[in-house]
Structure 1
Amino acid sequence: MFKIVSAAIAVSLTGLPALANAPDYSPQDGEVLAFDVYRGDTEFGTHEIAFQREGDELLVDVDIALRAGFGPVTVFRYEHESSERWRSGTLVAFSSQTLKDGETYTVQADLENDALVVQGETEEGGDVTNSFAPSILPSSHWHGYPDGLERILNTEFGTPMEVTVEYLGEERIAADGTTIMAHHYRLEGTLTVDLWYDANGRWAGCAFEARGQSIRYERRSAA
């Protein structure tokens, strides 16, 4: 029913492309970014990202759960779980499992000989293998996307996604139970997604249109 771009680094973010108009974001051990997701004005589900450090690496776990229905009857369900492992600003391993439109897709990626080798599936269900430069960014959004970016890793299927990134300036959005000033970016790929990042470079909001429906993310307060 809805097509979702799914939706994380080492002790230093050196080597990871930074947002052009917002500061580098360095997640803390144990930090969680949590969003309430709305379809129009109706609660649609949640999207959470948890960060954990292991030595010089950072592990990022993404958990998305979306549901639409009438009372107890579910008419649409989307679930996505993924894990990213970053070392010195490089994505060295990735795995995901996605339940979408009643089908399950899995992706597994590892860094091999200076290339990220990704075993995934097409949306039609066929197996596919792709190799990416170690600098590839996954479509998990928390890290932001630099100006001039042309391709990212689709985390649902493990396939390349051609994109353009545009910075649209600063504006006030709802987040953390109040309103905040945030940097607004537009990512155009298989879906056009508006993304906002706060003054610290943390992902703060998201909005897109899917099959005539307006989807909106609102970040919960960490307190």
Structure 2
Amino acid sequence: MRLSALTPRLPLKPFALAAFLSAVSVSPHAAASAPDMTEQVQALYGDSIAFDIYRNEARIGSYNVIFRDAAEGLKVTINFELEIGLLFVKLYELQYQSEALWEDGQLVSLSARTDRNGDISEVEASANEDTLTIDGPNGRQTAAIGIYPTNHWNSGVIGSTQLMNTITGQVNDVRLVDLGTERVATNVGMVEATRYKYEGAIQNEIWYDADGRWVAMQFPGEDGSLIELRCRQCVASASLEATR
């Protein structure tokens, strides 16, 4: 049998992939100064977040976020990688890295690099007064300051109608629909979380708990498979102690 016959269709749609990258955030309530934002993030997540990525119940990768308090504001570094193989043959590989700077609760710069089976794309975004300039593989775009990137840790995205796609550099129209609350497994046990469904250019489902903490996400692969992000470490140890 030819290898091409064994190769699945791209398991991550471009828009789903971008949304997949977009998830970890502070509570959607009032924006805070940079130090306060750092404190809020650390109260929710600690210094980092870790999700395991599953495809049809098989673990295929990991998604990791690191938070750092810097003089300029809050720095957020994201790394994730996944690999799909068959009979010891690598069929699909994806690696993504990004670094963003947040000041006064707003994104002011971002650099992202995606390597999909050797096909590399890069996105750069920087703030200038009230505009965010975005350069990506599809050219230059602009967006208003306050737009959220597709990196999901910030639950402030819940009321948004546009997102900055960190894979394509495009501004995507979206809407998040509340599907009700469910119990979700985390590193501190089961928690109540609200399930939201993206509508528009991005078609993911994502769960945030009552504090605005990102605890799970899933979306369909182009080949019909189910891609899930399951929390390995998404609740700060201080929060764990508080629940005991």
TM-score range, shorter chain: 0.7 to 0.9
Which segments of 5 or more consecutive residues in structure 2 lack a partner in the other structure? Answer: 1-9, 33-38, 238-244
Q: Larger deviation: 132-141 or 110-119?
A: 110-119
Flag the 1:189–1:62 CA change in 2: closer, same or farther, 3 A.
farther
Q: Pick the structure with greater CA Rg.
A: 2
Which residue does 2:60 correspond to in 1? 44
| Cα distance in 2, alignment partners of residues 206 and 189 from structure 1 | 17
Flag the 1:177–1:146 CA change in 2: closer, same or farther, 3 A.
closer
% identity of equivalent residues = 28
Could you say what the CA RMSD is over the residues aligned between the two structures, in angstroms? 2.2
Which segments of 5 or more consecutive residues in structure 1 lack a partner in the other structure? Answer: 17-24, 123-127
Q: Larger deviation: 137-146 or 189-198?
A: 189-198
Does the Cα contact within 8 Å between 2:206 and 2:217 map onto a contact in 1? yes
What aligned pairs does 1:3-22 form with structure 2 within 5 A after superposition?
3=13, 4-5=17-18, 6-7=20-21, 14-15=30-31
| Residue 54, structure 1, aligned to residue 66, structure 2 | no
Which residue does 2:202 correspond to in 1? 191
Name which of 143, 147, 150 aligns with 2:154: 143
Which residue does 1:112 correspond to in 2? 128
Which residue does 1:163 correspond to in 2? 174
| Residue 218, structure 1, aligned to residue 230, structure 2 | yes
| Cα distance in 2, alignment partners of residues 193 and 150 from structure 1 | 15
Q: Which amino acid in 1 is paired with 2:230?
A: E
TM-score (structure 1 length as normaliser): 0.85
Greater helix share, structure number? 2
Which residue does 1:31 correspond to in 2? 47
Show CA shifts across 1:165-190 (max 9, x none). Answer: 11112110222273221111111233
Shift of 1:201: 1.5
| Cα distance in 2, alignment partners of residues 197 and 113 from structure 1 | 31
| Cα distance in 1, alignment partners of residues 204 and 125 from structure 2 | 25
| Cα distance in 2, alignment partners of residues 157 and 81 from structure 1 | 14
Q: Structure with the greater relative contact order (CA < 8 A, sep ≥ 6): 1 or 2?
A: 2
Show CA shifts across 1:109-144 (max 9, x none). Answer: 11113211111113xxxxx00111011110111102
Greater strand share, structure number? 1
Shift of 1:82: 0.6
SS class of match (2:204): strand
